[in-house]
Amino acid sequence: MSSSRRLFFALTLPDALQQQVIRWRAEAFAPEVGRPVAAANLHLTLAFLGDVSAQKESALKKLAARISQPGFSMVLDDLGHWPRPGVVWLGTRRAPRGLLQLAELLRSQAARSGCYQNPMPFHPHITLLRSATQPVAVPPATPGWNFSANEFALYQSVFENGRTRYQMLEQWSLAH
Ligand code: 2AM
C-alpha cells in the first residue's frame, strides 16, 4: 500500500450553500458546457500539496494546528472561465485579508516542507464545472452568496470507481 496521499488544504462550503450553488448552477449553465462538480466536492482550495508522504503529512498537520487567526467572510460575487484547464469557477471580487493570509501561510509552510507550489498568484476559487474547454457564456452576475469561513480542513483526493471524492482528514477552527 502506498503511504503517500494526494492532499490539499481547503475551505468547506456549508451544506446549505452547496445546495444553493448547485440549484443556481443548473439554471445558469447548459449541460453541455461542462461536467458539474458534485455538491459535496465544492470547496475553495487554500494550498495544494500534491502527493505527500505520511511523515510530511504529519508535520504539515502539526503546523496547521498552530495557526491562530480569526475567521472571515466573503461575498461569492465573481465568476469566470479558464479554458485551458477547462474550469468554470465561482469566486469573490474582494478577497478578505484573512483568506489571503491563511492561504499564504499554508502555501509557504507547504513550500518549506518540500511541496511544489504553483508560482502563479493565488486566485481563490470554487470550481463549479470541469471539462469546459469550449467558449462559455458566463452569466453576468451571481446571487452574491455570503460565505463565512470559521474553519479550514485538510482533504485527501480519492479516485475510485471512476470518480474523484474529497475526503476530509482533519479540520481546524479559526478563532471567533
Ligand atoms: P481546481 O479546482 O482549480 O482544479 C483538488 O484537486 C483541488 O486542488 C482542486 O481545488 C484543484 O483546483 C486544486 N489543484 C489541483 N492541482 C493543483 C495544482 N497543481 N496547483 C494548484 N491547485 C491544484
pLDDT along the chain (176 residues), means of 10: 89 97 98 97 98 97 98 98 98 98 98 96 98 96 97 97 96 91
Query: What pTM value is reported for the model?
Result: 0.96
Number of H helices, E strands in the chain: 3, 10
Short-list 52, 43, 54, 55, CA closest to 11: 43
The predicted pLDDT at position 67 comes to 97
81 has catalytic annotation: no
Cα separation values, 57 from 1, 97, 110, Å: 16, 26, 10
The predicted pLDDT at position 3 comes to 86
d(CA 176, CA 158): 32
- Most informative mutation of 37, 42, 44, 45 for ligand 1 (most atoms within 8 A of CB): 45
The predicted pLDDT at position 1 comes to 55
d(CA 46, CA 110): 11
Q: State which H helix or E strand residue 60 sits in.
A: helix 54-65
The predicted pLDDT at position 95 comes to 98
| Residue 138 burial class via C-beta count within 10 angstroms: exposed 0-12, middle 13-18, buried 19 and up | middle
123 has catalytic annotation: no
Binding pocket residue ranges, ligand 1, CB within 6 Å = 8, 45, 48, 87, 118, 127, 157
The predicted pLDDT at position 175 comes to 85
**CA 137 – ligand 1 centroid, Å:** 23
Q: Rounded to an integer, what is the distance from CA 32 to the centroid of its chain?
A: 23
CA atoms 131, 133, 134, 138: torsion sign:
positive
Q: Which amino acid is at 73?
A: S
**CA 53 – ligand 1 centroid, Å:** 18
